[in-house]
A and B are shown apart, each in its own frame.
Chain A
Amino acid sequence: MTLDATARKTNWFSRLAHPGQFLSWSRLIVMPLAVLTALCFAVGLWVAFFNSPEDYQMGDMVRVMYIHVPNAWLSQFVYGLMAASALGTLVWRHPLADVANKAAAPLGAAFTALALFTGALWGRPTWGTFWEWDGRMTSTLVLLLIYLGIVALWRAFDDQLRAGRVVAIVTLVGAINIPVIKFSVDWWNTLHQPASVFTAEGPKMPLSILTPLLVMMLAFTLLFLTLHMVGMRTEILRRRAETMSRQAALSGGQ
């Protein structure tokens, strides 16, 4: 049996993995995802700003939570996704895993920076300070530095395929920071408030506040998924363009 006579069965999973197939099915999904994101944001922002109660202590300032918490949660979720793609690159050599990592890194950095920024804006009127070196803020700042280091590392390599494997190693080493962020409010009891949504006994806030929060979380997650998909498509097209320009240069003149 010769090599080219071997028939390959394409199942749904291999169709996910093939870059060309990915481009064709992702093109159909991007616009619906974007519309869904816009709808979710519209509903979420309306409920958050007009249809939810104010806090008995901070008044209307509590509404920053609806922006701050989804950003903070996403900053960790995106890193989890990057760590999973890193495993995909190193262990299974998945063709799209390093593209997923590269597209997610600047998005994760942006969400982390936004979380720190909105947190500072929230902290100034409520706690009296823009910044404190407490456990959660420090480890989130460390997460931002790790993200930015990964973005810099991607740009430093000429060969993007080799870069993918090296960045995967760095991503996995940096993943130690995620549990530190999650549990930092329990280990060091300083300024940032402890966990009130994902606790062992379930959420500790009433439904009138929890519902807008969950809707905003869904909206931001959909935003990330849309941008991530667009980013992955752009990266694949960029690599194709580079290959084509290299081939054109090789055959230039013939």
Chain B
Amino acid sequence: MSAFWALIVRDLRVSTRIGGEALTLVLFFVMIGVVVPFAVGPDKVQLAKLAPGIVWIAAFLSMLLGLDRLFRNDDEDGSLLLFRHAAIPMEAIVVAKVIAHWLLTALPLIFATPVLAILLAMDFASWWQTVLSLVLGTPALVGFGALGAAVTVSLRRGGLIAPVLILPLCIPVLIFGVGAIGGDSSGPAMLFLAAITLVVVAFSPFAAALALRTAGD
């Protein structure tokens, strides 16, 4: 069990030492909120109606951007080969990295949502539901992201393949994430979102570990 926590602490420590990457993702997240009103016009009523979708698209794209970081560094310095002989199984290692990645990428985004709420003319209730839906939904995005990153970890020029692969799988998360914000069916949508997250976080480590083991053969 201590190996599990050690891996999370290691990932957090390495990432904060390298620095800057979480800030870049948050900047990207906020910039989408800045750019969209230029594209669709500053009408507050329209912006407030589109705001849940815009926030979720921004979160989704930011998570896709940060995907590669999950396993790339470990593959490049040989840690992935060491992980195969670790005390804990590869699936547990994937779970640890997913937790660390969520703390490093999704949590800063959630803290940045007030800025987006102001830019997109959201009211307090909508913003609170946005935070809740992001908390419930981003673990599923990270879970799918781990699968995409594991599949493409051995590809040198695999750049955009991982986002393309997992985008069809993330569509239900987007549908229910946006449905959970504001409106009549918010409660059931939240529950569906939580269900999807639980299932994805439970099963994706097995698929990702299998892909990692295959990629290292």
Q: A166 interface residue, CB < 8 Å from B?
A: yes
Distance to closest chain A CB from B137 (angstroms): 17
Q: A152 interface residue, CB < 8 Å from B?
A: yes
Residue contact A173 to B217, C-beta cutoff 8 Å? no
Distance to closest chain A CB from B156 (angstroms): 9
Within 8 A of B (CB), among A71-124: 90
B186-217 near A? 1/0 per residue, CB < 8 Å:
00000000000000000000010011001101
Q: A192 interface residue, CB < 8 Å from B?
A: no
Closest to A161 in B: B217
Could you say which of A156, A176, A177 contacts B152, with CB atoms under 8 Å apart?
Answer: A156
Q: Which 9 A-B pairs have the closest CB atoms?
A: A165-B214, A145-B168, A149-B165, A142-B168, A146-B168, A149-B164, A169-B211, A156-B161, A166-B151
A148-172 near B? 1/0 per residue, CB < 8 Å:
1100110011000010011001101
Distance to closest chain B CB from A92 (angstroms): 15
A194 / chain B contacts, CB cutoff of 8 Å: none
Question: How many residues from A make CB contacts under 8 Å with B?
Answer: 22
Residue contact A173 to B168, C-beta cutoff 8 Å? no
A231 / chain B contacts, CB cutoff of 8 Å: none
What is the bound-complex CA distance between A170 and B167, given in angstroms? 12
Q: A174 interface residue, CB < 8 Å from B?
A: yes
Distance to closest chain A CB from B87 (angstroms): 25
Q: B115 interface residue, CB < 8 Å from A?
A: no
Distance to closest chain A CB from B89 (angstroms): 17
B147 / chain A contacts, CB cutoff of 8 Å: 173
What is the bound-complex CA distance between A170 and B211, given in angstroms? 9
Closest to B156 in A: A158
Within 8 A of A (CB), among B137-183: 147, 151-152, 154-155, 157-158, 161, 164-165, 167-169, 171
Residue contact B164 to A169, C-beta cutoff 8 Å? no
Distance to closest chain B CB from A198 (angstroms): 24
- Known pairs A145-B168, A149-B164, A177-B168; A170 contacts B151 (CB<8 A): yes
Q: DSSP majority for the B interface?
A: helix
What is the bound-complex CA distance between A170 and B168, given in angstroms? 12
A138 / chain B contacts, CB cutoff of 8 Å: 171
B214 / chain A contacts, CB cutoff of 8 Å: 162, 165-166, 169
Could you say which of A142, A148, A169 contacts B207, with CB atoms under 8 Å apart?
Answer: A169
Residue contact A152 to B161, C-beta cutoff 8 Å? yes
Residue contact B210 to A170, C-beta cutoff 8 Å? no
B164 / chain A contacts, CB cutoff of 8 Å: 145, 148-149, 152
Residue contact A149 to B151, C-beta cutoff 8 Å? no
Residue contact A145 to B167, C-beta cutoff 8 Å? yes
- Known pairs A149-B168, A174-B168, A174-B169; A169 contacts B151 (CB<8 A): yes
A174 / chain B contacts, CB cutoff of 8 Å: 168-169
Could you say which of A143, A162, A169 contacts B217, with CB atoms under 8 Å apart?
Answer: A162
A152 / chain B contacts, CB cutoff of 8 Å: 161, 164-165
Known contacts A156-B152, A156-B157, A165-B217; 4 further A-B pairs (Cβ under 8 A) = A149-B165, A165-B214, A170-B151, A174-B169
Question: Can you list 15 contacts pairing A with B, beta carbon distance less than 8 Å?
Answer: A138-B171, A142-B168, A145-B168, A148-B164, A149-B165, A149-B167, A156-B152, A156-B157, A157-B155, A162-B215, A166-B151, A166-B215, A169-B207, A169-B214, A172-B207
Within 8 A of B (CB), among A175-202: 176-177
Residue contact A173 to B158, C-beta cutoff 8 Å? no
Residue contact B165 to A170, C-beta cutoff 8 Å? yes
